[in-house]
Amino acid sequence: MEVLRLIGKSGACILSRARSASACRRQTGPTPLSLLQQKRHYAESGNHIMVERDSNNEGIAVVKMNKKPVNSLSKDFMMEMNITLEKLENDSSCRGVILTSANPGIFSAGLDITEMYQKSSDYTSAFWRSLQDFWMRLYGSNLATVAAVNGHSPAGGCLMAMSCDYRIMAEGKFTMGLNEVHLGIVAPFWFQELMVKTCGERQAEMALQLGTLFKPEQALRIGMVDEIAPLDDVINKAREHLAKWLKIPDHARVITKGMCRGLLLEKLRAKQEEDIAFFSEFINKDAIQKSLGRYLESLKKK
């Protein structure tokens, strides 16, 4: 059966927990106020990720990225994110995740440019693999995932948001988009196909060629986000929306998610080494390194 085959191949995460998951369904009940009072915090390694769980049986974890100053995606941070998601995936008391930022004004600045500048080919290869692995974990997660985009979300930040099941973006001056092309960097096929799946082929092609950063209303119009909310309400709205997801029997929700996402996950898995080799060779070209150098200089001057 293709469905099962695809899901089976698309990794450990999809379906493995689904079989017995319907048993662990429970009611959501508490008001946001009671949740606030009951919540307990614990920090992951290095204080870069805060995971907030509720002491009731709601089944939701809020994952707050807290890597100063802009949640840039370094190799180590992506490995931490991957481990954090894996733990939640294996925690039978957790059924849904809200992904958000603890750093005001920024969801994530995307890939850490310093990790691609004047590094060995081995390093950039390991860096890219950590991105792939983190992305396959997030996009292929059995958990219901909602992005509470509470700040700017360019490049890899946009990728993370688009990989969740639902996106709520804060109103205001924030922008979101795959803008890599401005630095001379080409978004790989899986960034591109994810954007096509999210926004449609026409909008994706244009936005990828122009590296467009969208304001919240624009992002909503093209389907890059599903909802807009005032900044201080984004996480509450995410919680409300996630509750809808958790009303669905887990096994049926997870198999359905796998059918929608399995092909793209499978495609990256099949081409993972090629994709790494391509990135590593591309990013270490003289012209690209010079472009990154100029960009890093311009950041220092700010």
Q: Judge whether 231 counts as a catalytic residue.
A: no
Q: Site for a copy of itself (CB under 8 A): which residue of 80, 112, 115, 180?
A: 180
Catalytic member of 11, 96, 110, 156: 156
Q: Does 30 bind a copy of itself (CB under 8 A)?
A: no
Q: Among residue numbers 265 through 284, which ones bind a copy of itself (CB under 8 A)? A: 271, 274-275, 277-278
Helix (H, G, I), strand (E, B) or coil at 211: coil
Q: Which stretch binds a copy of itself (CB under 8 A): 54-62, 91-99, 128-136, 249-257?
A: 249-257
216, 172 contact by CB (below 8 A): yes
| Closer residue to a copy of itself, CB minimum distance, 33 or 287 | 287
Burial of 243 (0-12, 13-18, 19+ CB in 10 A): middle
Instruction: Using alpha carbons, list the distances in angstroms from residue 206 to 58, 181, 209, 284, 285.
Output: 41, 12, 5, 27, 26
| Closer residue to a copy of itself, CB minimum distance, 39 or 215 | 215
| Closer residue to a copy of itself, CB minimum distance, 171 or 226 | 226
Q: Does 296 bind a copy of itself (CB under 8 A)?
A: no
Largest Cα–Cα separation, the chain = 57
Q: Does 89 bind a copy of itself (CB under 8 A)?
A: no
Cβ-proximal residues to 68 (8 Å cutoff; 6+ apart), any chain: 103
Half-sphere exposure of 127 (CA within 13 A, CB side): 23
| Closer residue to a copy of itself, CB minimum distance, 229 or 255 | 255
Q: Site for a copy of itself (CB under 8 A): which residue of 128, 135, 166, 214?
A: 166
Alpha-helical (H) ranges within the chain are 2-9, 13-16, 32-38, 75-89, 121-139, 156-162, 189-199, 201-210, 216-221, 234-246, 250-283, 286-301
Please state, in angstroms and rounded to a whole number, the distance separating the CA atoms of residues 148 and 161. Answer: 8
Eight-state DSSP code of residue 188: P
Q: Judge whether 200 counts as a catalytic residue.
A: no
Q: Does 69 bind a copy of itself (CB under 8 A)?
A: no
Q: Judge whether 179 counts as a catalytic residue.
A: yes
Half-sphere exposure of 32 (CA within 13 A, CB side): 9
Taking the complex as a whole, how short is the minimal distance between the CB of residue 180 and a copy of itself, in angstroms?
8
Q: Does 135 bind a copy of itself (CB under 8 A)?
A: no
Q: Judge whether 8 counts as a catalytic residue.
A: no
Q: Partners of 50 in the beta sheet?
A: 43, 64
State the catalytic residues: 111, 156, 179-180
Binding residues vs a copy of itself (CB under 8 A): 1-4, 22, 165-166, 180-189, 192, 196-206, 208-211, 223, 226, 244-245, 248-249, 251-253, 255-257, 259-261, 271, 274-275, 277-278, 287, 291
